[in-house]
Amino acid sequence: MSALQTVKQIEVMRCHPCFDGEAHDRVGRIHLPVAPRCNIQCNFCERKVCATLVIQHPGWTAKVRSVGEAVELVRSIVRLGKENFVVGVAGPGDPLANQETFEALRLIHQEYPWLLKCISTNGLLLEEKLPQIRAVGIRALTITVNAPDSSVGKHIYSWVRYRGTVYWGQEAAQILISRQFQGVKRALEAGLSLKVNTVLIPGVNDQHMMRLALRLRETGIRLMNIVPLIPSGKMKKYRAPTCDELRKARRECEAVVPQFYRCEQCRADVVYLP
């Protein structure tokens, strides 16, 4: 990766409300819920589509929007004179497993090339989808990586669907984690700006945060966002980390990888305009 690519990556991160603490307060964020399908099953994940939902929760949305509805939403916001916002796709499934993600962002990029586009993904398809990612103007990626290896990951993931085959248990975790780190490496080489999200799960991955942070640093990641488990899905009876546990994990990992502290664990359809 060239010095110019590095500078551009840093510039993008400084303009993104989910990458920079100062930008968080001055830059808006629009999540387009156009990606309903997912290719993995996280044990803590609970996707919901319901018009009455008002709670902030990743994977939740009032409705799944069509490509046309998503584009029109962005147009309506720009018509209001609002242009200082990021357009992202963060679900309710995995953006890279849904062609609608690329169709919506391609159309938005054609009309509004200056808007920063991003996606939040599990990273399974990151490497193979890089050409499409770059073609539609995506410049920022958040990849959720919850384990340094499959011995930890087998407790977090139930299954992974990859290239037409469903894998279970430790084999599923091995495939996912391998593809995640390979995808991160290639995305950074391509000049994209990356952040890694990690869900802190007491009794599962909390004692492995430093190993994960070290692997991320070795791969080239410059920003990590440790977020607390929201007990749900198969982990609804697990407890969330305490504030002290969350602070400890962030403080220890910050010695290895810079940390982001402002994450609100937004819904897949959040619209925030400061």
pLDDT of residue 151: 97
pLDDT of residue 55: 64
**Is the CB of residue 86 less than 8 Å from the CB of residue 115?**
yes
Task: Kindly state whether residue 181 falls inside one of the protein's structural domains.
Answer: yes
pLDDT of residue 112: 95
Task: Kindly state whether residue 132 falls inside one of the protein's structural domains.
Answer: yes
Q: Give the integer Cα–Cα distance in Å for 121 and 119.
A: 6
The pTM for the full model equals: 0.93
pLDDT of residue 149: 97
Q: Which two tokens stand for residue 209?
A: 């945060």
Q: Give the integer Cα–Cα distance in Å for 229 and 235.
A: 9
Q: Give the integer Cα–Cα distance in Å for 236 and 132.
A: 36
Task: Kindly state whether residue 102 falls inside one of the protein's structural domains.
Answer: yes
- Give 54's contacts (C-beta < 8 A, 6+ positions apart): none
Half-sphere exposure of 263 (CA within 13 A, CB side): 24
pLDDT digits 0-9 by tens, 174-200:
999 999 999 999 999 999 999 999 999
DSSP 269: T
Task: Kindly state whether residue 242 falls inside one of the protein's structural domains.
Answer: no
Q: Give the integer Cα–Cα distance in Å for 253 and 46.
A: 27
Q: Which two tokens stand for residue 105?
A: 């962002």
pLDDT of residue 96: 98
pLDDT of residue 3: 57
**Backbone Cα Rg of the chain:** 17
Nearest C-alpha neighbor of 263 from the set 23, 12, 35: 23
Task: Kindly state whether residue 214 falls inside one of the protein's structural domains.
Answer: no
Residues of the chain with pLDDT under 70: 1-8, 10, 51-56
pLDDT of residue 22: 83
Domain total in the chain: 1
**Is the CB of residue 204 less than 8 Å from the CB of residue 232?**
no
What residue numbers bound the domain in which 78 lies? 3-199+264-272
What's the CATH number where 27 sits?
Answer: 3.20.20.70
Task: Kindly state whether residue 243 falls inside one of the protein's structural domains.
Answer: no
Other CB atoms within 10 A of residue 68 CB: 12
Nearest C-alpha neighbor of 246 from the set 261, 232, 236: 261
pLDDT digits 0-9 by tens, 96-118:
999 999 999 999 999 999 999 99
pLDDT of residue 77: 93
User: How far is the CA of 81 from the CAs of 29, 67, 76, 84, 253, in angstroms?
Assistant: 15, 22, 9, 9, 40
Which pairing describes strands 28-31 and 271-272: parallel, antiparallel, or unpaired? antiparallel
User: How far is the CA of 179 from the CAs of 96, 160, 182, 185, in angstroms?
Assistant: 13, 11, 5, 10
